[in-house]
Amino acid sequence: TVIAAYAADGPDPELPVRACMTANVVLRFVLLYGVPAEALAQGVAEVTAALNAGALSALPVHRFPLEECAAAEDAVQAGAVGKVLLDIP
């Protein structure tokens, strides 16, 4: 299971379509703006329960202070797995 969030202000994500097809990967997309509040609350509860049970794992987080922004960019360019965060005071 992979849960991905995507914002409209970034570039379109690239999907390895052929690799997904040959592996019989199922992709599901949900636009949350049209989902009723009760369903959103249930989804949050279920994802939270799965995280607490260890059924899901979050990506690693790599934090850098503002004065190390060059190192943060190097991590991104090197393909760091997970989230690269820059702490801005």
Number of domains in the chain: 1
Report pTM: 0.43
pLDDT given for residue 2 in this prediction = 62
Amino acid at 13: P
**Rounded distance, CA 24 to CA 62, Å?**
32
**Rounded distance, CA 79 to CA 73, Å?**
10
Residue 1 domain-assigned (yes or no): no
The maximal CA–CA distance of the chain, rounded, in angstroms, is 46
Residue 5 domain-assigned (yes or no): no
CA end-to-end span of the chain, whole Å? 35
Residue 11 domain-assigned (yes or no): no
**Rounded distance, CA 23 to CA 31, Å?**
25
The residue segments making up the domain with residue 33 are: 17-87
- Consecutive 10-residue runs of the chain (89 residues): their mean pLDDT? 66 83 85 90 93 86 94 92 89
